[in-house]
Amino acid sequence: MAGILLVSYPATEGASFDHDYYTGTHMPLVKEKWGPLGLTDAVALFPDDDAPTAVAVAVLTFTDGAARDAAISGSTAATVFGDVANFTTISPAAQRLTG
């Protein structure tokens, strides 16, 4: 069963979020660092309603929960998580799911 990491960036008044950096730099970094660890798909989604609860959501799919957990706790996690400050002032919320 696939291990999924759902990462959302809650809509926060006064916060900044650089969509171009997120899609052009951060998501490729996630794929580069976590692909070898079992990441099979990474999708960035953006709400199209007038009052979104999140400015962006990422769905990261891994081969299984063990691969997901190894990625988010392994040596490359600091690089991935450290890059967040380059595109947003929002603290992301992450949820581990099974699918």
* pLDDT tens for the chain, residues 1 to 99: 999 999 999 999 999 999 999 999 999 999 999 999 999 999 999 999 988 999 999 999 999 999 999 999 999 999 999 999 999 999 999 999 998
Domain 3-98 bears CATH identifier 3.30.70.100 = yes
Q: What is the 3-state secondary structure (H, E, C) of the chain?
A: CCEEEEEEEECCCCCCECHHHHHHHHHHHHHHHHHHHCEEEEEEECCCCCCCCEEEEEEEEECCHHHHHHHHHCCCHHHHHHHHHHCECCCCEEEEEEC
Position 51, amino acid: A
The closest of 90, 37, 92 to 61, measured between CA atoms, is 37
pLDDT of residue 46: 97
pLDDT reported for residue 99 = 85
Q: What is the largest CA-CA distance in the chain?
A: 39
Taking the model in full, what pTM does it have?
0.95
